[in-house]
Structure 1
């Protein structure tokens, strides 16, 4: 009798496990290409680079049906350099994303290393995320449209779609004993999609961005002299602002599709506030204080020539004002791109970007052109051309 009872219980447990549907997917992307930089620290440069249109990556995505419309989900995603095999995002194993959570008809709640609301709701409306990649990001990626920085220790809510409306928010705890607000990050956003129209708005507030946002894994991004690989360390557009106590971004975007053509526009106001906070980052020898403000406006156009062939064009105007003498630093940037899909998973593309700078940049010197992710120019202009292949798996 006991054996029969035990066998029945075991059979019942086995049946329950079999009924719970779950799946794990391995996925990835390889983006590799040849680049030309007209002025790389005063010299022409020809080189290969990985992950410009989209970051090269591999990851695992899982989902388990828990019943009642509720599912457990997770994502762990790694970035890497095809040319060297090294890990991306400062050497983190899962530096792109790493989170776990629950999804339901009322929305999704996740916890871990994640994207902020500006990235989720406004970034996709910009040319960089649609067809241009990191080269076309706004100078210094001050608004994080191109997702240069991720958020650690984040709790995030994302709603389902209600008649085309989606919304969400994120809060990242600072993790500093005795100081709740230090290193904290929070953001809110919403998006609307209905037929040919797409809209997005977002807000981001980052405390001590040099340690909480720009550094890989929450480490210090910039010290005296700067650290290559971090915008605070390598981009003269913002490199003198590592001592900001707070970074704030307000952003909005829209896109409208008419037949094969899509017209888009985005605007962002990015501020580096309370500069001179030595606990956040290095303060230039000349000293710095106040708030540095960037206004970024973008117009973009995309045309689907055939189902397999598209072309795009964009123009970005960025202006910095208010700190370290950078009262009239401006950056005018234009970009062109074409993309041809050989199959659903493989495409070849070409990009051309030109930037011209004027005024005084964050360092208090004459502004130099600094296209995103490449070595800055020694003059006020710079051009980059890329020819590449992308494969998704």
Structure 2
């Protein structure tokens, strides 16, 4: 096919099909200016589908998007101009393109992966050049993951993964590897510290960290310091005569630890018995409140006697897909308030999305008699 261009000098443009037409390796992707700027800055976009049943997502350096195909209103021909001529070859005919929709990063699997390669005992520590040694054998490759390994396993951008590791999981770093303590080993270390505080009669607001670690004895210092940094804060204005640094236990973190520990072991408890056992388990002066367990436990009603109960329900254990998550939540409780739903729904919506409008896609609301509040029930 030839096309004449009506200019001062007539130019003939020739368009023909490529000998290997159609070349199916071409796909069209519609991107926003933000995605384009990120691509031009970093030189990479990554499409991830970790499991065969996963939706394909595209990750920039800072955000995560789901990929969806959409038909174009008009078919588009992709052409290639031959060098030094006015001839174009048609490489491909495109009748659909891919669109991007920003989604929350799918980060829950990070903890699952890290707990497959945990630090599980004292023998995992031997401070020789910062390496992890087990019975004299270098097992650094068997504990934790490098950042590139995690990026390949998780449908999220590098920035989102890094923020989650630092602010939510409180990971332990071993050289270039990232690890978590096993739940059993983590709990054991917290118990050692709390027991030592109790034995020595130290105030929960004034704990000499070096003395505490020395008295505990046969436990790696870096493991105990790691636990202190999670469950306590440094007292900047207090120093002992021997230059020991004092720490103050974080009330919320200790109460959450104990509440989760009690409830996870049984699943469901009568509310009054749970609150009594929970209060007895924390240091003197600490007052646990059920709202501390947002995203960890919910108040339910026993079916046999209609009495209030506490039910272990971790946000991390719920399905990633919104519809499946709502179905499971409404199996636990048939009616929810918006504040009750928030810790279980906020992690699966983008920061700028409205919580109530999102909930109403999967639930219906009804007013609470005599109140401005609403309750939410399943659509399914």
TM-score relative to the length of structure 2: 0.28
TM-score relative to the length of structure 1: 0.27
Structure number with the higher helix fraction is 2
Q: Which has the larger radius of gyration?
A: 2
Higher relative contact order (CA 8 A, sep 6+): 1
Structure number with the higher strand fraction is 1
